[in-house]
């Protein structure tokens, strides 16, 4: 097999995240606003209903939700709640005075939660609540119940908590919804339903989705003391007896979704390169092995390339490791932008990256990796007024019969060749 080497020298967000905080206590308003800003939210403060009205009339489109002191000088009976609701703003009420009558009156309105600001922990709870509601906006939750009134009640609560809501009238329909709809992470299901009951639904869900992928909470009004155990044994994450308190319902949901997100974060930490945010070597091998096996069975064209930045040590030595880290992150972003969505891009360590690309052969393969090399070479980085240029040597393997390890080994040999023949070039075997 003849070696081929080409190269040339250097010459040739998020939706609305603004929180309206209404409180006549300057100290509390300042402390809460500071905590929210530290958590990444924008804050608009108001000390009265009059000020809040001006904000809502002029800046409603910016506001995600409101945190409202219940008793204000120009609204001693909680009128600020009605104001926020009239503008369609999701609202949480906080107050220093708690009573069952006040709680019942507030929660009878379309208010998310009722928080007593009796100690510093209430500030932490409010901040975590805002975080939870913000995250909920990207999550779909499904309610499964054949009783229209019960289903609509839970669906309305989930919408109040900012979930995207999907409904189903029985287990069979719920399974179809799960299969057809992306990102359903939470299922609330009744037990007694026609076609397929709650137990059978959960057992079928667990054939495809684990507890850390889709959280299932069973609900029932049957009152059986053994029903909760049966739900859990069938694969549910949690269970609630009906009727339930709204606060308990929300806390159970938040606890289960939080747990799934913590598992997601641990998985991401284990499979994502901390510096660049792209997959790491471990993740690359986990994802590439089955893809390559499928390509071998289907006789698809696959190429694996190792990309190593030239003379990178000199950047760290001359400009510092922080500058080097920024350069690596910049190259990672470029590779993700330039590669196709079907390709895998990973950082293997140090200044080395790996790309697995599908359906590339001959001239299209050569042009693809030559373009990546050229894009890296064209980067003009400026750090504190100091221009920095980069180049990369690339080794490519297209022999799928070698398997993944063999292809990487061959690409590594070609990378070494590119270095030996002058760097800033792409080498492969034909």
350 Ramachandran zone, left/alpha/beta (phi>0; psi -120 to 50)? left
What is the pLDDT at residue 9?
A: 42
- Residues 353 and 329: their CA atoms lie apart, in Å, by 11
What is the pLDDT at residue 348?
A: 95
Of 134, 51, 40, nearest to 20 (Cα)? 51
* Superfamily of the domain at 281-429: Reverse transcriptase/Diguanylate cyclase domain (3.30.70.270)
Cβ pair 305, 407 in contact under 8 A: no
Residue with tokens 């708690």: 98
Reported pTM: 0.73
Q: How do the domains of the chain map onto residue ranges?
A: 18-118, 138-271, 281-429
Q: How far is C-alpha 385 from the geometric centre of its chain's CA atoms?
A: 35
Backbone φ and ψ for 8, nearest 5 degrees, come out as -155, 160
Of 72, 122, 115, 121, nearest to 95 (Cα)? 115
Cβ pair 307, 336 in contact under 8 A: no
- CATH code for the domain defined by 18-118: 3.40.50.2300
pLDDT tens, per residue, the chain with 430 residues? 445 454 444 333 345 789 999 999 999 999 999 999 999 999 999 999 999 999 999 999 999 999 999 999 999 889 999 999 999 999 999 988 778 888 888 888 889 999 988 778 889 999 999 999 999 999 999 999 999 999 999 999 999 999 999 999 999 999 999 999 999 999 999 999 999 999 999 999 999 999 999 999 999 987 677 888 999 999 999 999 989 999 899 999 999 999 999 999 898 888 999 999 999 999 999 999 988 888 777 767 899 999 999 999 999 888 889 999 999 999 999 999 999 988 999 999 999 999 999 887 667 888 999 999 999 999 988 877 788 889 999 999 998 889 999 999 999 999 999 999 999 999 998 6
Do 138-271 and 281-429 have matching folds?
A: no
Write down the architecture of domain 138-271 according to CATH. Answer: 3-Layer(aba) Sandwich (3.40)
Neighbours of 139 (CB within 10 A): 18
What is the pLDDT at residue 223?
A: 66
Neighbours of 76 (CB within 10 A): 9
């Amino acid at each position: 097999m003849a070696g081929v080497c080409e190269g040339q020298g250097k010459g040739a967000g998020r939706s609305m995240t603004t929180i309206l905080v209404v409180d006549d206590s300057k100290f509390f308003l300042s402390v809460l606003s500071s905590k929210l800003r530290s958590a990444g939210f924008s804050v608009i403060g108001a000390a009265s209903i009059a000020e809040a009205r001006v904000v809502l009339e002029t800046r409603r489109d910016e506001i995600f939700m409101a945190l409202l002191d219940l008793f204000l000088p120009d609204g001693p009976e909680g009128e600020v709640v009605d104001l926020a609701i009239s503008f369609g703003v999701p609202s949480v009420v906080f107050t220093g005075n708690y009573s069952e009558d006040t709680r019942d009156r507030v929660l009878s309105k379309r208010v998310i939660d009722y928080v007593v600001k009796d100690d510093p922990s209430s500030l932490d709870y409010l901040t975590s609540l805002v975080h939870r509601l913000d995250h909920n906006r990207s999550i779909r939750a499904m309610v499964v119940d054949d009783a229209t009134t019960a289903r609509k009640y839970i669906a309305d609560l989930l919408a109040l908590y900012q979930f995207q809501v999907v409904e189903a009238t029985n287990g069979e329909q719920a399974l179809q919804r799960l299969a057809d709809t992306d990102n359903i992470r939470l299922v609330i299901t009744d037990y007694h339903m026609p076609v397929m009951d709650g137990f059978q639904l959960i057992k079928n869900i667990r054939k495809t989705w684990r507890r850390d992928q889709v959280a299932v909470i069973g609900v029932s009004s049957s009152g059986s003391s053994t029903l909760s155990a049966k739900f859990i044994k069938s694969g549910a994450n949690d269970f609630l007896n009906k009727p339930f308190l709204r606060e308990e319902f929300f806390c159970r949901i938040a606890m289960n979704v939080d747990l799934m997100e913590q598992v997601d974060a641990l998985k991401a930490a284990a499979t994502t390169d901390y510096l660049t945010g792209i997959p790491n070597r471990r993740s690359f091998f986990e994802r590439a092995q089955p893809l390559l096996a499928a390509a071998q069975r289907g006789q698809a064209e696959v190429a694996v390339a190792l990309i190593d930045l030239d003379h990178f040590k000199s950047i760290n030595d001359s400009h510092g490791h922080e500058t080097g880290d920024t350069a690596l992150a910049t190259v990672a972003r470029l590779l993700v932008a330039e590669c196709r969505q079907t390709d895998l891009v990973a950082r293997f360590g140090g200044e080395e990256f790996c790309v697995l690309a599908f359906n590339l052969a001959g001239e299209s393969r050569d042009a693809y990796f030559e373009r990546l090399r050229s894009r890296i070479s064209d980067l003009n980085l400026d750090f504190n007024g100091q221009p920095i240029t980069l180049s990369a040597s690339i080794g490519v393997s297209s022999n799928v019969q070698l398997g993944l390890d063999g292809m990487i080994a061959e690409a590594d040999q070609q990378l070494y060749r590119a270095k030996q023949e002058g760097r800033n070039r792409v080498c492969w075997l034909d």
